[in-house]
Amino acid sequence: LADEDRESRPRLMLMGLRRSGKSSIQRVVFHKMSPTETLFLESTSKINKDNIHSFIDFQVWDFPGQMDFFDSTFDTTAIFGEVGALVFVIDSQDDYMEALARLHSTVVAAYRVNPNITFEVFIHKVDGLSEDYKIDTQRDIQQTTTDELADAGLENVQLAFYLTSIYDHSIFEAFSKVIQKLIPQLPTLENLLNILCANSGIEKAFLFDVISKIYIATDSSPVDSQSYEICSDMIDVIIDISSIYGRAAIGAKSQGYLEDQQDDQDNWSQNQGRHDDFEDSNGGNGNGNHQRSGTNENYSQAVVGRGSRTPSLSNQSTQQQTAGNHEAFSVIKMGNGTVLYLREVNKYLALICLLRAETFEKQGLIDYNVHCFKEAMDQVFELKRAERTRREMEANQ
């Protein structure tokens, strides 16, 4: 393993049998590939490391399904030693007995090396299953796995199970939950979001990683999938709108985004492009993302009222703070009396809130509270940076 792989960034590892859907998940979540394009992906046949330069730097290691841990050339310590989360993908449309055996041996091998790993099982491709069958499958997989681990004397190992599909938001939600476990500041972020909601009459607030559309924190009111979906779609809408009404100068930057999607690297720059699009969304640009054709469906009822009123609304003080950077801001009023409020928090993150139109009448208060929230966020991450520097200095002495 190269040194750079040993960096202490939280590492996420994707494993599972061949054709279980690992590469597809990676492409759809982190590289914005449309789900139907994954039909033509080649199956994974080597360890494929993918550094994701997002809010937290995590890595996806796409393992070929048929790897043998008990082979002496396989260095389990190096591989599992620093992993934060191990995601094991099971194809629920296939006979999964072999996958379960594989999951068992993987958990046993990984837990022996690193008991702090969180094990996450994605019961995948559930788009093909009926509701009843989904529940039965989950129950069966969960039961068999925990029984077998208990038989092996590992009853304390915690496994979390998720029903996922790349054809809907379930894969993003599952990833959100997985990633959240790897964020040490999560309780603080949740607390800040709770305070923001309580003081502004906001019903639900999500902190989104814009590139992946994973939410890294939310307030503690229950998450319903619909709220998550609509907020996540809002990111696409904002990017689309800013793309259409954009400045030609920035258009050049986003071209990379639309170019060749075959190559990994290109896909990554594509993401970067996407992110730039977002950052510049008050300036806009000439091209855009039209891959997710379903996106606008939810908005058929929506008044995209002040959708892209970004330029006029970045307030002075915040602009100064972000050293003259434009900050994305947008409001969408829906036909059903709900308002979606988006504000860029920093380079990677956006805050998206759901609130009632009546509450939004006090927009000044909400803007002010969101501004305070952003300042608190800056402090949280500034503290973390200071802490890291201090530790590094101590280590060097």
Residue 127 binds to ligand GDP (criterion: CB under 6 A)? yes
End-to-end CA distance of the chain: 27
Residue 209 CB contacts under 8 Å (≥ 6 apart), including other chains: 54, 55, 179, 215, 216, 348, 349
Residue whose tokens read 């491709």: 125
Q: Does position 369 bind ligand GDP by CB under 6 A?
A: no
Q: Does 124 bind ligand GDP (CB under 6 A)?
A: yes
Q: What distance in Å separates the CA atoms of residue 230 and residue 317, rounded to the nearest whole number?
A: 30
Q: Is 98 in the site for ligand GDP (CB under 6 A)?
A: no
What is the per-residue DSSP string for 238-306? HHHHHHHT--HHHHHHHHHHHS--SSHHHHHHHHHHHHHHHHTTTT--S------GGGGGGGTT-B-TT
Strand 349-356 and strand 204-209: the pairing is antiparallel
Considering only residues 160 to 189 of the shown chain, the ones binding ligand GDP according to CB under 6 A are: 165-167
Please identify which residue in 5, 10, 41, 148 interacts with ligand GDP, judged by CB under 6 A: 41
Among 11, 12, 22, 138, binds ligand GDP (CB under 6 A): 22
24 binds ligand GDP (CB under 6 A): yes
Tell me whether residue 100 is exposed, middle or buried, using C-beta atoms within 10 angstroms of its C-beta: 0 to 12, 13 to 18, 19 or more: middle
Residue among 24 and 287 whose Cβ is closer to ligand GDP: 24
The least CB distance from residue 31 to ligand GDP, in Å, is 12
In the bound state with ligand GDP, the residue whose beta carbon lies nearer, of 169 and 343, is 169
Least CB distance to ligand GDP at residue 39 (A): 4
Centroid of chain to Cα 384:
21
18 binds ligand GDP (CB under 6 A): yes
By CB under 6 A, tell whether 67 contacts ligand GDP.
no
Part in contact with ligand GDP (CB under 6 A); list of ranges 15-23, 227-235, 266-274, 297-305 = 15-23
Cβ neighbours for 39, distance < 8 A, ≥ 6 positions apart = none
Interface residue with ligand GDP, options 128, 187, 311, 335 (CB under 6 A): 128
CA–CA gap between residue 103 and residue 141 (Å, rounded): 10
Using CB under 6 A as the binding rule, whether residue 137 contacts ligand GDP is answered as: no
Note the residues at the interface with ligand GDP (CB under 6 A): 16, 18-24, 38-39, 41, 43-44, 124-125, 127-128, 165-167
